[in-house]
Amino acid sequence: MHITMVGAGYVGLVSGACFSDFGHYVVCVDKDEKKIAALNKGEIPIHEPGLSDLVARNVAQGRLAFVTDLKGAVSRSEVVFIAVGTPSRRGDGHADLSHVYAAAREIAASLPESAVVVTKSTVPVGTGDEVERIIREEKKDAKFAVVSNPEFLREGAAIQDFKHPDRIVIGTEDAFAKEVMAEVYRPLHLNASPILYTSRRTAELTKYAANSFLATKITFINEIADLAEKVGANVQEVARGIGLDNRIGSKFLHAGPGFGGSCFPKDTLALIKTGQDHEAPLRIVETVVAVNDQRKRAMARKVANAFGGNIRGKTIAVLGITFKPNTDDMRDAPSIPLITALQDLGAAIRVFDPIGMEQAKKVFENVTFCRDAYDCARGSHAIVIVTEWEQFRALDLKKMATIMAAPVIVDLRNVYSPEDVTRNGFHYCGVGRPKPLAY
């Protein structure tokens, strides 16, 4: 099939590359001429394991192309995906749909007489209705359908998620569109990936409900971690104890500094706004957002508590600044409010991240950027592990102790055993474990 992917950002690029690997002919369109020029040179603008090789292979085999000409691409396509950004709208928190609607208008001008338009972007309930209205104004007699097909990709594991999905949600009640979408995803039938056909509005809500529920699990275990510290319990054992219940499951029950990234913060907020607009307030999700926002900055107090509450004049080494491992994404990363709060408390900051350093330089001021974890730790009074990169799981603690000004580790991801750390002469502070004595 011939597919156009409008938007060559994270979702569009990963989806387009994977569709082309299925054997479809895919053209990714983006208005950013520099991005398209870079992609045509083989330069991938995001860090996603395996994506560079996937793109190169399919470009070489003639199934994947990158252009700025939307009109030419759409006119030759059977399926057109809208995969543009829907960030939180400044001022009110609603999803900003301006790019989606602009794409719909441009698509309408060039859409073939028989085609399917698919919203891959995360959009509030009812967006597909408006996209259909916009296109219908231009193509009154055309045979087309607008479908909702939300993505469920985890940054750092997106290719695996796309090719081996838990489910594929397709929101349409149009028979023609169902046939087309079944053909688009036919290669996944071999993996027995379940396709769930729903109404368009149901599919749109499913995406927001999924992300908000996962965000709720994270926030719940973080609050349990706070209680565990107070009562002398171990949150990791609590998480295992409840996660073994099949009704609950073990995923997203890892206590830490709070959720961030490009999806959960904006999607929970957008769902809250949708509930308010329809007089169906989502009190649980509202609380999740409030608790998570407070938690990120509160982690600075945990660092300060390791020094009796005062870190003025101390040097803090922050390891990991992206919102999760295997990505360079800094959007709403917990490291941002944490570092800001540490600076407000009078600490000097050194940082290192395996992938996110270039992005970090656009975000942070008055910090020292280091070449590796040991360079970051040198002369520091504490190491704070914020992102659980594999490179940080087996640090040479004996070496660290000799180069630091004070042997303190604040492990916000619980990647280390307290016993192992203290055995090497460190004062250890984790999340959801009994509080250590002040250093």
- By annotation, the residues acting in catalysis are 263
Closest to 197 (Cα-Cα) out of 208, 214, 182: 182
- For tokens 């007089």, the residue is 279
Look up residue 15 and give its two tokens.
């989806």
Q: Which residues of 133-170 are buried (b: 16+ CB within 10 A; e: fewer)?
A: ebbeeebeeeebbbbbbbbbbebbbbbebbeebeebbb
Chain CA centroid to CA 62, Å? 30
Give counts: helices (H), strands (E), the chain: 17, 14
| Segment (H or E) for 79 | strand 79-82
Query: How far is the C-alpha of 188 from the C-alpha of 169, rounded, in Å?
Result: 13
Sign for the CA dihedral angle at 275, 276, 282, 288 comes to positive
Look up residue 212 and give its two tokens.
């908000």
User: How buried is 420 (Cβ within 10 angstroms: 0-12 exposed, 13-18 middle, 19+ buried)?
Assistant: exposed
Q: What are 108's strand-pairing partners? A: none
The β-bridge relationship of strands 2-6 and 79-82 is parallel
Alpha carbon distances (Å) from 280 to 207, 219, 271, 273: 18, 22, 10, 10
Torsion, CA 368, CA 373, CA 377, CA 378, rounded to 10: -80
Query: How far is the C-alpha of 134 from the C-alpha of 146, rounded, in Å?
Result: 11
Residue 80 in contact with residue 6, Cβ under 8 Å?
A: yes
